[in-house]
Every structure is written in structure tokens, then in C-alpha cells.
């Protein structure tokens, strides 16, 4: 049963501004900042709203990934394509993740955000960061690899490990393709199941403004905008570096592949505002997969690249790690040799892998990096704990954009990108109608979440 390519509903294009998701999220973020700033106790108490929304989204992530990958792979005539896509995706991730680490290190040297602070590490209160350090001690390479293998075939579908879901989905998709005609009823069932699952995603996204409001109100209420003033130079440097990385590095890559990074921003505006509001790129993962398919990327490519990228393609987290590590070294007057900095870079390349796009993951991976770099005191993390939450939004945004670009690039390299569909999506043009009832046809691209 082929899934029909359906037209994007025109209703959204004519929908009043106040009913569009991105506008609702902007208003919610604004209200959250106001409440958190003027009524910090109330703002801090609204944290459950943000947590509840993220849990709702994470509830649906595993089924979305499983269905997208299995139906995508099972529909591939040549199974070698799966391995080729994976290799190309990992090559892309390795190159740009390493480049992000190098960029963060170079900017730290050029700007020197921690110079002149003259902090004595022994005077820092490390109690607040001990929890992060303990979590980081569990992040060994062996444990990471073994954790990819699930306990049972179905346990990943009730867990929150994206790589476990990816593993069983790929294996099941390959097995389903190898079975041939006897497996068609299973494939037809999974294709039909895709429609209600993505409809559920659409319903959950309606709660996005509430989640963004609660998350932002909590951040501002607990940490306060005044906390930014002491480390404004570091925060500003990180935001500017991430912006330049997205516009220059990823923008150039996008241009080479025939699309505009600015049009991609516009296409994903609702998701970007949602990521900003919740400080979590996972909150927009299902919607990103849906929109990448609608933009012309093959389902098999989307299913392989997006979930893998959420663990291995974290450009924002990588920029943050080297920039923050050198900031701590500068603030505590520690001189690192070239060899020590290269060692820091190599360690960061390992510890940055596997950090999911959830709030706090960047801080945990930073702790894991510093724990094996004795020259930079882990206690120095207390210096940036107060503003880490504000940098988390930038990390999540950069990670999200990086994975969107990666999906389009890998699809282009693989010849699995419908350029006409991409042009229509980025130019906000209506898609070609192929079914009078897209949802019945089972095409998740017909389900608009904007």
C-alpha cells in the first residue's frame, strides 16, 4: 500500500495569526518572561507545565521513530541503501561536530571571555554541581555502547533511549524487507498506524504554548534575568558564536545543496520558537521528522538521520563545551598548553556523543569532559551554573537547526530529496494534491502542526 503524497492543508495559510502555533508560542514565551521576572515565586512554581509538555512529547517520540524507520526501510528495494545512508550521516556528523568543537575553542582564544576574573577554585561552592559530576561519571564509552542494546525487543518503545529505538527499528525494518510478500500485511498495518500517530503529534503540539510558558517562567523566576549581567560576556559570546556557525558554516552547506538557511528558518519557525521556549530540542523532534518528509526527504533518510543526529550531531553542545572549558581555565588563571588543548578537544569529541537534546545534557557532558582533564578544575563549573539554563536555549536551537540541515544534506547526497517538494515547502507554496483525504491515505506529511 503506497502512502499518497498529499497536499498541505491550505487552511493554515489562511488561518488568523492568533491561531498559528508559532505566534501562540511567542506570546507564551513573552508572558512567561513577564511572570518570572515580576513574580519569581509564581514563575518558579510553573515548572511542572514545561515538564509535563516535554513528557507528553517524549511519550510519542519512540512510536514516531519506529514507524518512520520501519516503513521507510521496508519500502526500499535495495537494502544496501540503508548502510550507505548511515555511513554518510555519520561522516557528516563527525566532521561538523568536530568543526563545532574547534570553533568554540578558537572563539574562546580570540575573545578571552574569562580573562581577568582571577577566581581561586578553592573558594568556589561545588555542592551545586556535584549532582552533574556524579551523572557524568556514568558516561563511559563502554557503558554508552552497551546501553544502545535494549533488554528486550519491545522495551525501547516504552523507554526514552533514542538509539535503542533506532537499533530495533532498523533491524525490524530490514527483517520486514527480507521477508518479502508474506510481510506485506505487517507493513500495511504499520503504514495505516502512521496516520493516527502523527495525528496525535498534531494534538500534542496544541499544548506547546502552555509548555513554553511554564518552562520560561520557571527559568526566569528561579535564575532571574539579573544573573545574566555577571557573565554576560560569556553568554553573549556563546550566542554570537552559535549564530555565526549556523549562518556561515551551516548556511554555506545549505547553499551548496541548493537551499537557503533563512527559508529553512521560516519553514521551521514554529519548532524553533518551541525549542526556545522549552530549552529542549526533543520537544520538536516528531514535528521535525514530519516536516522533513514534507520538504521532500525520503522517509528512510529522515528516520535514519534525525534520531541518530539527536545523539551524534550536537553542534550547539560542542561549541558550548570547548568555549565553557576554556572560559573556566581563563577565569581561574590556568594556562593550557597546545597539547593539553588538543587532549581536551579529543576528549570532548567522545563525551559529546550520546548527549540527548534535553535540558541539562550540555552541562553533564561538560562535567564528563573536565573530569578527565585534570588541568581544568571541575569546581569551576560553579561559575557558569547560574547562566547555564540561559545558554541551554541556544544549545538546543543550534542542535535542532544542525539536524534539520543534516537531514536535507544527506538526502541530497543520497539522491533521495524531492527538489520540487523542497521548493514548495520553503517557499510556502501548496503541495500537489494526490488524495482528497490525506489523513485516510496515511501520509504524515498531510498533518500540519503549524
Predicted local confidence at residue 282, as pLDDT: 83
Three cell numbers, residue 46: 510553573
Nearest to 351 by CA among 321, 378, 315: 321
Identify the residue with better confidence: 10 or 224: 224
Do the domain assignments include residue 113? Answer: yes
Q: What is the mean pLDDT of residues 255-281?
A: 92
Mean pLDDT of 187-197: 90
Indicate whether 12 belongs to any domain.
Answer: no
Q: Report, as an integer, the average pLDDT of 362-389.
A: 75
CATH for 410: 1.10.3860.10
Query: Phi, psi at residue 271, to the nearest 5°?
Result: -65, -40
Binning pLDDT at 50, 70 and 90, where does residue 250 land? very high
Say if 162 falls within a structural domain.
yes
pLDDT > 90 in the chain, percent: 26
Q: How high is the pLDDT of residue 205?
A: 87
Cα 184 to the center of its chain, rounded Å: 33
Confidence category of residue 245, pLDDT binned at 50, 70, 90: very high
Mean pLDDT, rounded, for 342-365: 67
- Which is more confident, 4 or 151? 151
Report the pLDDT value the prediction gives residue 227, as an integer from 0 to 100: 67
Query: Is the pLDDT assigned to residue 360 strictly greater than 60?
Result: no
> What is the structure's pLDDT at 292?
94
DSSP category for residue 442: T
Secondary structure string (H, E, C) spanning the chain: CCCCCCCCCCHHHHCCHHHCHHHHHHHHHHHHHHHHHHCHHHHHHCHHHHHHHHHHHHHHHHHHHHHHHHHHHHCCCCCHHHHHHHHHHHHHHHHHHHHHHHHHHHHHHHHCCCCCCCCCHHHCCCHHHHHHHHHHCCCCHHHHHHHCCCCCCCHHHHCCCHHHHHHHHHHHHHHHHHHCHHHHHHHHHHHHHHHHHHHHHHHHHCCHHHHHHHHHHHHHHHHCCCHHHHCHHHHHHHHHHHHHHHHHHHHHHHHHCCCCHHHHHHHCHHHHHHHHHHCCHHHHHHHHHHHHHHCCECHHHHHHHHHHHHHHCCHHHHHHHHHHHHHHHHHCCCCCCHHHHHHHHHHHHHHCCCCCCCCCHHHHHHHHHHHCCCCCCHHHHHHCHHHHHHHHHHHHHHHHHHHHHHHHHHHHHHCCECHHHHHHHHCCCCCCCCCCCHHHHCCHHHCCCC
Q: Decide if 440 is inside a domain.
A: no
pLDDT of 241 over the 90 cut: yes
Nearest to 221 by CA among 15, 348, 374, 44: 44
Question: Residue 6: is its pLDDT beyond 50?
Answer: no
Asked if the model's pLDDT at residue 443 lies above 60, the reply is no
Instruction: Please report the pLDDT score of residue 141 as a whole number.
Output: 59
State yes or no: pLDDT of 77 exceeds 70: no
Share of the chain above pLDDT 70, in %: 84
Reply yes or no on whether the pLDDT at 330 is more than 50: yes
- Domain ranges, residue 331: 20-428
Please tell me the total count of domains within the chain: 1
The per-residue pLDDT for 181 is 86
In a domain, 4, yes or no: no
pLDDT of residue 86: 87
Does residue 445 fall inside a structural domain? Answer: no
Is 348 inside a domain boundary?
yes
pLDDT in tens, 8-20: 443 355 678 777 8
pLDDT of residue 371 exceeding 50:
yes
Nearest to 44 by CA among 275, 277, 223, 283: 223
Q: What is the pTM of this model?
A: 0.80
Whether pLDDT at 193 is above 50: yes
Mean pLDDT over each residue of the chain, to the nearest integer: 81
Inside any domain, residue 294: yes
Amino acid at each position: 500500500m503506497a502512502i499518497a503524497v498529499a497536499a498541505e492543508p491550505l487552511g493554515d495559510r489562511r488561518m488568523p495569526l492568533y491561531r498559528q502555533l508559532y505566534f501562540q508560542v511567542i506570546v507564551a514565551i513573552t508572558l512567561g518572561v513577564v511572570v518570572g521576572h515580576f513574580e519569581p515565586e509564581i514563575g518558579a512554581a510553573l515548572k511542572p507545565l514545561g515538564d509535563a509538555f516535554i513528557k507528553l512529547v517524549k511519550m510519542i517520540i519512540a512510536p514516531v521513530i519506529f514507524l518512520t524507520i520501519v516503513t521507510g526501510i521496508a519500502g526500499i528495494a535495495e537494502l544496501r541503501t540503508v548502510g550507505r545512508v548511515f555511513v554518510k550521516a555519520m561522516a557528516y556528523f563527525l566532521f561538523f561536530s568536530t568543526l563545532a568543537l574547534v570553533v568554540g575553542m578558537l572563539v574562546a582564544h580570540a575573545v578571552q571571555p574569562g580573562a581577568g576574573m582571577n577566581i581561586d577554585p578553592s573558594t568556589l561552592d561545588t555542592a551545586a554541581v556535584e549532582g552533574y559530576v556524579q551523572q557524568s561519571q556514568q558516561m563511559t564509552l563502554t557503558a554508552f555502547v552497551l546501553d544502545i542494546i535494549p533488554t528486550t525487543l519491545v522495551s525501547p518503545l516504552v523507554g526514552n533511549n533514542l538509539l535503542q529505538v533506532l537499533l530495533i527499528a532498523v533491524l525490524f525494518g530490514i527483517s520486514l524487507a527480507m521477508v518479502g510478500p508474506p510481510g506485506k500485511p505487517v507493513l500495511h498495518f504499520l503504514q495505516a498506524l502512521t496516520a493516527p500517530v502523527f495525528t496525535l503529534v498534531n494534538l500534542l503540539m496544541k499544548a506547546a504554548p502552555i509548555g513554553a510558558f511554564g518552562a520560561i517562567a520557571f527559568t526566569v523566576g528561579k535564575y532571574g534575568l539579573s544573573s545574566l549581567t555577571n557573565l554576560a560576556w560569556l553568554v553573549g559570546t556563546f550566542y554570537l558564536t552559535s549564530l555565526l556557525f549556523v549562518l556561515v558554516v551551516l548556511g554555506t552547506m545549505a547553499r551548496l545543496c541548493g537551499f537557503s538557511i533563512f527559508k529553512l528558518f521560516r519553514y521551521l519557525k514554529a519548532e524553533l520558537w518551541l525549542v526556545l521556549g522549552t530549552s529542549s530540542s526533543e520537544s520538536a523532534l516528531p514535528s521535525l521528522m514530519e516536516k522533513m518528509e514534507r520538504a521532500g526527504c525520503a522517509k528512510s533518510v529522515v528516520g535514519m538521520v534525525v534520531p541518530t543526529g539527536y545523539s551524534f550531531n550536537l553542534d550547539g553542545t560542542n561549541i558550548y563545551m570547548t568555549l565553557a572549558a576554556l572560559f573556566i581555565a581563563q577565569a581561574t588563571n590556568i594556562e593550557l598548553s597546545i597539547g593539553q588543548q588538543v587532549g581536551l578537544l579529543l576528549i570532548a569529541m567522545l563525551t559529546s556523543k550520546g548527549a540527548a537534546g534535553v535540558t541539562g545534557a550540555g552541562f553533564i557532558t561538560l562535567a564528563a569532559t573536565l573530569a578527565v582533564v585534570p588541568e581544568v578544575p571541575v569546581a569551576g563549573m560553579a561559575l557558569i551554573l547560574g547562566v547555564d539554563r540561559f545558554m541551554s536555549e541556544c544549545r538546543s536551537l543550534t542542535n535542532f537547526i544542525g539536524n534539520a540541515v543534516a537531514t536535507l544534506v544527506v538526502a541530497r547526497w543520497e539522491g533521495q530529496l524531492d527538489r520540487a517538494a523542497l521548493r514548495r515547502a520553503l517557499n510556502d507554496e501548496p503541495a500537489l494534491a494526490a488524495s482528497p483525504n490525506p489523513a485516510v491515505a496515511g501520509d504524515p506529511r498531510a498533518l500540519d502542526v503549524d
